[in-house]
């Protein structure tokens, strides 16, 4: 099962990190669908440390609070691989808007139209944002490569680059699909209404 512990282990398999780094990675990624709140990240790291799947190196700094840098252990590597080979889980789509729409026939044309317009706008925005990020190939304005996980530019092998690119594409395709769908729905409803008016 893909848990947050597995996710942390995966992140640490790329490079050692602090809890704070991991938290940022999770918060900044929509694929890593947890909130990245402190409680979960720090307690998970504690559990991983107890199980000796990660090692901890405390960096005492004169400046600022001391940092705990976590690395994946050999045991952790084995566990990671075990999970990598486990049966694929299937996506779970939480789509409240569909539930809202299910009883929207109680609303009038304008009210439904407004709802759908808002939804279309937001999906369009998501597509645009994700496309821009993908086109820039995750290069931040400064020219510095952004250190989000699954940045194809940071991939260690060409195969990893293919996979990471496809993961990004999956996300884009999802929103494009939603956009197409809401446009079709708006068209179908408009067409039905015009038919009535004539």
Partner DNA sequence: CCCATCATGTAAGGCGTTACATGATTAC
Partner DNA sequence: GTAATCATGTAACGCCTTACATGATGGG
Question: For DNA, which stretch binds (CB under 7 A), given 62-70, 113-121, 172-180, 189-197?
Answer: 62-70
Binding residue for a copy of itself, selected from 58, 65, 143, 156, defined by CB under 8 A: 156
Binding residue for DNA, selected from 68, 146, 183, 186, defined by CB under 7 A: 68
8 Å CB contact between 197 and 159:
no
Burial class, 44, CB count within 10 angstroms (exposed 0-12 / middle 13-18 / buried 19+): buried
**Contacts for 121-129: CB closer than 8 Å, 24+ residues apart:** 123/175, 123/178, 123/179, 123/182, 124/179, 126/175, 127/172, 127/175, 127/176, 127/179
Does 20 contact DNA by CB under 7 A?
yes
The alpha carbon of 102 is separated from its chain's Cα centroid by a whole number of angstroms, namely 27
Question: For a copy of itself, which stretch binds (CB under 8 A), given 31-39, 42-50, 62-70, 127-135?
Answer: 31-39
Tell me the closest approach of the beta carbon of residue 190 to a copy of itself, in angstroms. Answer: 11
8 Å CB contact between 6 and 94:
no
Does 149 contact a copy of itself by CB under 8 A?
yes
Contact letters for DNA, residues 28-47 (x by CB under 7 A): ------xxxxxxx-xx-x--
Bridge partners, residue 18, by sequence: 69
Q: Footprint of DNA on residues 133-172 (CB under 7 A)?
A: none
Contact residues for DNA (CB under 7 A)?
Answer: 3-4, 18-21, 23-24, 34-40, 42-43, 45, 63-68
């Amino acid at each position: 099962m893909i848990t947050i512990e597995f996710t942390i282990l995966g992140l640490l398999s790329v490079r050692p990190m602090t809890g704070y780094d991991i938290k940022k990675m999770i918060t900044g990624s929509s694929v890593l669908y947890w909130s990245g709140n402190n409680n979960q990240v720090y307690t998970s790291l504690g559990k991983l440390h107890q199980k000796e799947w990660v090692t901890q190196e405390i960096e005492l700094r004169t400046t600022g609070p001391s940092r705990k840098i976590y690395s994946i252990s050999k045991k952790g590597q084995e566990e990671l691989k075990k999970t990598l080979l486990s049966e694929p889980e299937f996506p779970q789509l939480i789509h409240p808007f569909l539930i809202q729409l299910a009883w929207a026939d109680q609303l009038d044309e304008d009210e439904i139209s407004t709802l759908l317009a808002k939804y279309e706008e937001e999906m369009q925005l998501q597509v645009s944002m994700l496309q821009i990020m993908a086109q820039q190939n995750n290069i931040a304005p400064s020219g510095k490569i952004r250190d989000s996980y699954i940045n194809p530019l940071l991939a260690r092998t060409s195969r990893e680059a293919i996979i990471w690119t496809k993961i990004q594409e999956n996300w884009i395709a999802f929103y494009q699909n939603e956009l197409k769908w809401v446009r079709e729905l708006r068209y179908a409803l408009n067409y039905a209404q015009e038919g009535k008016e004539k």
